[in-house]
Amino acid sequence: MDQELMNELASQFKNSLKVLNAVGAETRQAILMALLQGPQDPGMRVGEIRGITHFSRPVVSHHLRILLEAGIVSVRKDGTRNYYRLDSGSKLMVLKSLVSGLEKVLAQCEQSSDSPEREELLLED
The yes-or-no verdict on residue 120 having pLDDT over 60 is no
Range of the domain at 70: 3-114
Give the amino acid at 78. Answer: D
* Domains: count for the chain: 1
Under 8 Å between Cβ of 53 and 31: yes
Q: Could you give the CA distance from residue 95 to residue 12 in angstroms, rounded to a whole number?
A: 8
Residue 47 lies in a domain: yes
Count Cβ atoms below 10 Å from residue 32 Cβ, excluding itself.
Answer: 19
Residue 67 forms part of a structural domain: yes
Structure confidence by residue, pLDDT tens digits, 55-93: 999 999 999 999 999 999 999 999 999 999 998 777 878
Judge whether 33 lies within some domain: yes
Domain membership flag for residue 39: yes
